[in-house]
Structure 1
Amino acid sequence: MGTGRVIMEGASQETAQSKIRDGSVVFWFVRPLSARRYCAWRGLGESLYATLWLLVGLVVGVVCGLVALPPSGPAAAVTVLAYALGQVVFYQIALLVDLTSFWTITSFGVNRLVAFAQLLLSGGLVPLWFFPEGLRAVAGHLPFAATINVPVSLYTGRIDAAESWPYLAEQALWCVLLAALSRLVWRRAARRLLVLGG
C-alpha cells in the first residue's frame, strides 16, 4: 500500500528536497495555487495511482486464489473507508518528512528513519497481531498503524465491521492532528525558504 506512493514520489522528483536542491521550490510559492494545496493535489494523484496498482494486484490475487475477498459486504465497505483515511495519514506523514528539507541539508536520514518506522509499526513487514501484547498496544495507536494495519485488519475480518468505529475515529483523529501540524510546518517553511543562499 505504501510502496506505490514511495515509488511515485521518487520517480516524479516533486519533493521539497529535490526542488530546494535545484532552486525551483520558489515556484511553489509564487503560483496562484498555494504550495500546500499544490502538494495536496499531487499527493491525491500519487494515492490514486498507487490505489490503481493495488486494485490490479488484488484482482490478480483473487483470480489466482491467492487472496480471499472480505468476509462480508459491510467489511468491504469499512475497508474502503479505512483505506481512504489511511492514505490521508500516509500522505501527511510523508509530507511532514518532506518538509524537514527546509531545515536540513538533506532529508535522506529522516526519510530512512520514518520509512523503517512506517514499515515496522504499520504492520507492513509483520502484521501487528503477531507483536508482543505491550508493543502491539502501543503500535496500534500510532499513526503508522492507521495506514496499513487498520484497513488490512478490517479486510481480513480481524476487526469486525460492526466494531470498526473506534478504529475509524482514531484514523480520522490522526488525519486532523497531522493536517494541523503540517499546516503549521508549511507556514514556518514559507518563512524559512532559502534558495541558492538568497
Structure 2
Amino acid sequence: MTDDTGGRETEREGIRDGIVPDTKDWTWVIERPCDECGFDPTGVDPLAVGDAVRATVPAWQGVLARPEVRRRPAPGVWSPLEYAAHVRDVFRVFDERLALMLATDGAAFPNWDQDAAAVAGGYAQADPAVVATELADAAGAVADRFDTVRADQLERVGQRSNGSTFTVRTFGRYFLHDVVHHLHDVRA
C-alpha cells in the first residue's frame, strides 16, 4: 500500500497516515440501534458478552486471510488489516478497562488515542498472520474477563477521560458495538 503522507501528520489538522480521525461520540449506541451496522444494544445479554466476542473471531480471521487485506477501499479509510489491528487493540484496551471497573467502582480510564495507536503500532505495515494470532488471543482474554462478571457487578461504574460514564452493563454494549461495527466496515 502506498501512502503519500509518509507516516506523519499532514498540514490538515489531525490527519495521520492519510486517515481522518473519527471524532464522533458513539456513546449513543448503548441505548439505541446503529443504523449503519444494525447492532441493537437492547439485545445484548450483559452476562454473555464473552461468548459474543468469541463469535466474532472467525469473521476477523476470514478478513485477515483476504488477498487484498492491505488495500484501503478509499482515501482516508483504513484497510481491513488496519481495522483488524485496531480491533485487536480494542480488545486489549477494553480488557484493561473492564479489569479496572471490576476492581474499583468509579474507575477512571486512561486516555487512549486510537489514531495515534494506529500510527505508533504500524497497523498498515503489520503482518496479517501475526495480527490474526494476536487478535484471537486478545479476544480470548477480554472474553474470559467478561465471563467473570457477576450480576451484582453490572452497575459498577467507569469513566473515560472525556467524561463519558459507563456501567459494566453499558460498557459491554459499547464495546461489542465497536467490534461488530468494524466487521461491517470491512464488509465481513
Bin of the TM-score, shorter chain as denominator length: 0.3 to 0.5
Q: TM-score scaled by structure 2?
A: 0.41
Q: TM-score scaled by structure 1?
A: 0.40
**Structure with the largest fraction of helix:** 1
